[in-house]
Structure 1
Amino acid sequence: MKLKLPKLKKRFKYGIAGLLIVFITSSAFYNPSEKYFEIAKNLDIFATLFKEVNTWYVDDVTPATLMKTGIDAMLASLDPYTNYISEDQIEDYRTMTTGEYSGIGASVGTRDGRILIMMPLEGFAADKAGIKIGDEIMAIDGISLADKTYDETSQLLKGQAKTDVVLSIKRYGNEKPIDITITREKIQTYNVPYYGMVTENIGMIKLTDFTRDASKEVNDALLALKAKGAEKIIFDVRGNPGGLLDEAVKISNIFVEKGKEIVSTKGKVKDWNKTYNGLSKATDTQIPLVVLTSGTSASAAEIVSGVIQDYDRGVLIGENTYGKGLVQATRSLSYNSKLKVTIAKYYIPSGRCIQAIDYAHRNEDGSVGKMADSLRMPFKTAAGRLVYDGGGVKPDITIDHDRFAPITQTLFLKGLLFDYANKYHFEHKTITEAKKFNLTDTEYNSFVKWLSAKEYDYTTKVEKMIKELEEVAQKEDSYDALKPKIDEFKKGIAHNKENDLRNHKTEIMELLEREIITRYYLERGQMEATFDDDLDLKAAIEVLNDEVRYKKILSVE
């Protein structure tokens, strides 16, 4: 059924019931089964209820908003991936699937009510016009952003290609705002924002999305790296949320022979039960390969990771992937709206489904949980290695990542590292190349001195434990007796900012250096700034440089 709200409220208010009743009558006539009777009955109840609320509710209601709330709540009871896309969301949806839009080519963010430039895309309109990270947008075409939301700001920045937009910018070091005219253009975001050599013979490809042409970008990057002397490849899909299934198949086919099964889908409707094989000649089926994964690598990223593992084509390093083994299709509805609906589960070559959550079987309170390890079924890779379903793709080498200290997290989340990087950029016209840049002890001390005038606070793990102890003591009526000892203990462990800045200097400097490097080298620099402290990357290099170990991981002992 195609259902969408007409633009005219009056027409919507009284017309939807009639439209639904026509559908109900025809459905009931041609499908006199109990299931279709239940559908007809409940649609009739919904239509009449909706009409009564719009007619009699004490305050004015917006029919479109009320309907969308109801639709969203209904679909949320299924899974997080079945969504209603209204007409005014279509452009954002197209951007998400194609990676293409018309605008200035820069990501923006909000902090403390300010709209800030977070990252200009290298080579696009904003970058060419001189927009910098940290610029605060005060107005767009004379329209103040003082009371504008992020979404409203985004709409003002977008527009037809070859049209001008004037940004009033407040920049660090400038007393007065400056006006910068930018000519909008068609922006094509890259699925591969970075590829390069990490050692003399190891190349790295970073894939962040699976929008249109992702496979072409990966293939081009691979060929370019091989031309530069790459004899081994690190393929980074950490943080990649997935995207187009076809692109996942094509990317897998770059490393896996033509004709090999890549993924199959199975759902309620038999027409959606399909098997996808590699259709093209593989670019390279022999080059040693490591795939980096994280807990936020999902969907299409898991297909590629799983295919590489199931065919023993490369070694997976990092964290267990997210566990999204559900396939969505987009169905057109009336009034230019769409429904993105889960239609099937996908299965990788070993036969396993990596879906971690069973949304069809919820707890009494409506919550869902991940599949218990005891319920996961064993499967085998092509070489006979044991792998399991139901919980994402487990890497061959798992890397434990330490959490940043509370002070480091606070400095990052409050934007103090971001702000100091702007200051540093203003005071230093150039820095050395991204891979070699390091702050000196003197420069770090300058940062600490700058922080002394800033307001920020945080709670350490021990302080959290003391607070929990206080709460328990109060509930058990033992607080008065314990209070003197608790106060004494609190005084003894009270955090000292200066000590924490010294004790956690290494990790704070790591993030601060990364922020500073982006001011000079944008997204490419942001990537290269992590090379010297990326545990996953270091592990990948070690494995690729140890041929015996690499082969042993991919074989059955």
Structure 2
Amino acid sequence: MKILNKQNRLRWVSGTLVVLVVSVGLVGFNNNDNRNFSIVKNLDIFYTLFRELNSYYVDETNPEKLIKTGIDEMLESLDPYTTYIPEDDMEDFKFMTTGEYGGMGSLISKQGDYIVIAEPYEGFPAQLAGLKAGDKLVEINEVNVVGKSSSDVSNMLKGPANTPLKLKIDRPGENKPVTIELIRKKISINPVPYYGMISDKTGLIILNNFTQDCSKEVAKALKDLKENHGAQSFVLDLRGNPGGLLDDAVKIVNLFVKKGSEVVSTRGKVSQWDKVYRASSEPLDTISPIAILISRGSASASEIVAGSLQDMDRAVLVGQRSFGKGLVQTTRPLSYNAKLKVTTAKYYIPSGRCIQAVDYSHRNEDGSVGLVPDSLITEFKTLGGRSVYDGGGVSPDIKIEPQKYGNIAYALVAQSMFFNYATQFALEHDEIVSPENFTITDEIFEAFKQFVAAKKDFKYKSATQEALKKLMETAKKEDYYEKSKTEFKALEKLLDLDVQKDMEIFKEEISELLGNEIVKRYYYQKGAIKFSLQKDEELDKALKVLEDSAEYNGILNGTVLSHAGDKRSMK
């Protein structure tokens, strides 16, 4: 049975979807008749089911919503990265790949019924027009937006460049609404939010994502640090960078390795698409020591850069094991200007390893997925002969435990206590010292404590309390509670939360988060980054190893212990 290029068209007749023919695109499956029949059979079942559902379901249905739900659930059963992008979402997709959109240049957040300006981007229309963090949006172009969702308001704020926006806002400290008018511009977010010298000889480059041409921004920063600031070694910060475009990852590796070096290869079901990506240009620097900062949030293209430079013994990695996304997506066009972002291959870095951590091809009976099992983890060798492993992200050469925050810090963030206090602080203080020198004094910290104490709706729970609550419920079911009621009550009292006391216990981390929020009000994102550099354990370790040539070279030649060669560190 040979079925080739059957075509279908869809049209509506009296509210009923009529299928004339379905396009199954089966060219290339001539020798797989069973598969051809299965595809046609199941497409026909899907059509007839949809037709009957549309005709006879008791309530009115939304055909577009039903189909999109079906598509989304189908793709979700494969992996989280294979997704359907309808025409309405193309602007968001474009922003993810290019870092550009038409709008005013500001982050927004939801607080109660209001959408609040969370952070205006320095130098863009929102900031230049006078919008401030903490401003509550009331109207956009004379349309009331109180009670609307963040996504709805975001769509209203975005639009073609050079079109007007008229905003009515409630501003803390003002007795009446403020009207601000501005012109939308093309907003291009720099993927390198900061670079600078962190010692006499070492430069830092922070890369937030791999959008189109981000390699040019990294190259520009690298040249400036070398030529104008005398940098002789570099830290590339990829912490929390979720990845992006593979081509730009290759170009960034190319900055540091010889022309012709293999950076990454991709292999998938369609062998014609298999490709080896090599450094195609002359590098900028193949000699200077490099440290790369990675974390659990470093994924995809970040792992290609970090893993490739590790495999070529060109950089020392510091931080935590990376996310473990070794899959490549390709965008395919669909009808009606929609697109399919589909996983088409796995990528392999120079040692030959694939760092994919989750095995989506072998699901458990309940549909869940698990990590690649220990038995399938394989040892590979770097260019110089060091041991590295596949199947679970990129392991750093120098492992640093991630900073952990107490529950009270999470509660303060989630309930906007830092944000709202910083708004009040900015009203009371016209200026602060430079980000590098700003600190949370005892006076500021005490004022913040009183601010939190005055908020009667602040809720704070601890994991220990929740565990005790569950234990008591279980004890009651099993008749143990009454026998030990006195002990349970004593333990419950012991674990009673005292917000003021806990804020003192976790003063150091609370001060760090509070300081970051306050500094942003005066110096924006770049200032917040400078403030955070005052205390950064991973950056400090990277700087230390770059300044110790014996340790640096020892890690790269395998004479100094590296966590990258420890199979257990992959877990």
TM-score, length basis structure 2: 0.93
CA 1:314–1:546: 2 relative to 1, 3 Å: same
Counterpart-to-counterpart distance in 2, 1:4 and 1:500: 66
- Within-5 A mapping of 1:251-330: 251-330=252-331
Preserved contact between residue 318 and residue 395 of structure 1 (Cα < 8 Å):
yes
Task: Give the structure 2 partner of residue 55 of structure 1.
Answer: 55
Q: Once the 2 structures are TM-superposed, how far is the Cα of residue 162 of structure 1 from its aligned partner? A: 1.0
Task: Give the structure 2 partner of residue 14 of structure 1.
Answer: 17
Q: Among the aligned pairs, what percent are the same residue?
A: 46
CA 1:30–1:469: 2 relative to 1, 3 Å: closer
- Within-5 A mapping of 1:306-455: 306-455=307-456
CA 1:151–1:434: 2 relative to 1, 3 Å: same
Task: Give the structure 1 partner of residue 497 of structure 2.
Answer: 495
Preserved contact between residue 9 and residue 21 of structure 2 (Cα < 8 Å):
no
Task: Give the structure 1 partner of residue 154 of structure 2.
Answer: 154
Structure 2 unpaired stretches of 5+:
560-571
Secondary structure, counterpart of 2:383 in structure 1: coil
Counterpart-to-counterpart distance in 2, 1:23 and 1:402: 51
Deviates more, 1:208-217 or 1:129-138: 129-138
Preserved contact between residue 3 and residue 333 of structure 1 (Cα < 8 Å):
no
CA 1:5–1:176: 2 relative to 1, 3 Å: farther
Preserved contact between residue 28 and residue 40 of structure 1 (Cα < 8 Å):
no
Preserved contact between residue 319 and residue 402 of structure 2 (Cα < 8 Å):
no
Task: Give the structure 2 partner of residue 121 of structure 1.
Answer: 121
Counterpart-to-counterpart distance in 1, 2:190 and 2:554: 35
Counterpart-to-counterpart distance in 2, 1:127 and 1:481: 64
CA 1:496–1:347: 2 relative to 1, 3 Å: same
CA 1:12–1:361: 2 relative to 1, 3 Å: farther
CA 1:11–1:506: 2 relative to 1, 3 Å: farther
CA 1:281–1:96: 2 relative to 1, 3 Å: same
Q: Once the 2 structures are TM-superposed, how far is the Cα of residue 107 of structure 1 from its aligned partner? A: 1.5
Preserved contact between residue 28 and residue 37 of structure 1 (Cα < 8 Å):
no
Counterpart-to-counterpart distance in 2, 1:334 and 1:118: 37
How many matched pairs? Answer: 553
Deviates more, 1:404-413 or 1:326-335: 404-413
Q: Once the 2 structures are TM-superposed, how far is the Cα of residue 133 of structure 1 from its aligned partner? A: 1.5
Letter in structure 2 aligned against 1:368: V
Letter in structure 1 aligned against 2:147: D
Deviations 1:80-122 (A, max 9, x none): 0000111111111111111111111111111223211122121
Counterpart-to-counterpart distance in 2, 1:271 and 1:248: 22
CA 1:291–1:23: 2 relative to 1, 3 Å: closer
Counterpart-to-counterpart distance in 2, 1:12 and 1:347: 51
Deviates more, 1:107-116 or 1:266-275: 107-116
CA 1:533–1:3: 2 relative to 1, 3 Å: farther
Structure 1 unpaired stretches of 5+:
none
Deviations 1:404-448 (A, max 9, x none): 112121111110011000111111111111111012111211111
Counterpart-to-counterpart distance in 2, 1:5 and 1:232: 61
Q: Once the 2 structures are TM-superposed, how far is the Cα of residue 31 of structure 1 from its aligned partner? A: 6.6
Counterpart-to-counterpart distance in 1, 2:9 and 2:231: 55
Letter in structure 2 aligned against 1:301: S
Preserved contact between residue 114 and residue 147 of structure 2 (Cα < 8 Å):
no
Letter in structure 2 aligned against 1:466: L
Secondary structure, counterpart of 2:166 in structure 1: strand
Deviates more, 1:96-105 or 1:339-348: 96-105
Preserved contact between residue 102 and residue 185 of structure 2 (Cα < 8 Å):
yes
Letter in structure 2 aligned against 1:525: G
Task: Give the structure 1 partner of residue 476 of structure 2.
Answer: 474
Task: Give the structure 2 partner of residue 35 of structure 1.
Answer: 35
Preserved contact between residue 298 and residue 321 of structure 1 (Cα < 8 Å):
yes
Preserved contact between residue 196 and residue 225 of structure 2 (Cα < 8 Å):
yes
Q: Once the 2 structures are TM-superposed, how far is the Cα of residue 55 of structure 1 from its aligned partner? A: 0.9
Preserved contact between residue 3 and residue 334 of structure 1 (Cα < 8 Å):
no
CA 1:89–1:4: 2 relative to 1, 3 Å: farther
Letter in structure 1 aligned against 2:218: V
Counterpart-to-counterpart distance in 1, 2:252 and 2:184: 32
1:164 corresponds to 2:164: yes
Secondary structure, counterpart of 1:195 in structure 2: strand
Preserved contact between residue 463 and residue 493 of structure 1 (Cα < 8 Å):
yes
Q: Once the 2 structures are TM-superposed, how far is the Cα of residue 201 of structure 1 from its aligned partner? A: 2.0
1:66 corresponds to 2:66: yes
Q: Once the 2 structures are TM-superposed, how far is the Cα of residue 236 of structure 1 from its aligned partner? A: 0.5
Task: Give the structure 1 partner of residue 548 of structure 2.
Answer: 546
Counterpart-to-counterpart distance in 1, 2:403 and 2:197: 27
Preserved contact between residue 266 and residue 346 of structure 1 (Cα < 8 Å):
yes
Deviates more, 1:167-176 or 1:258-267: 167-176
Q: Once the 2 structures are TM-superposed, how far is the Cα of residue 5 of structure 1 from its aligned partner? A: 10
CA 1:233–1:11: 2 relative to 1, 3 Å: farther
Letter in structure 2 aligned against 1:148: K
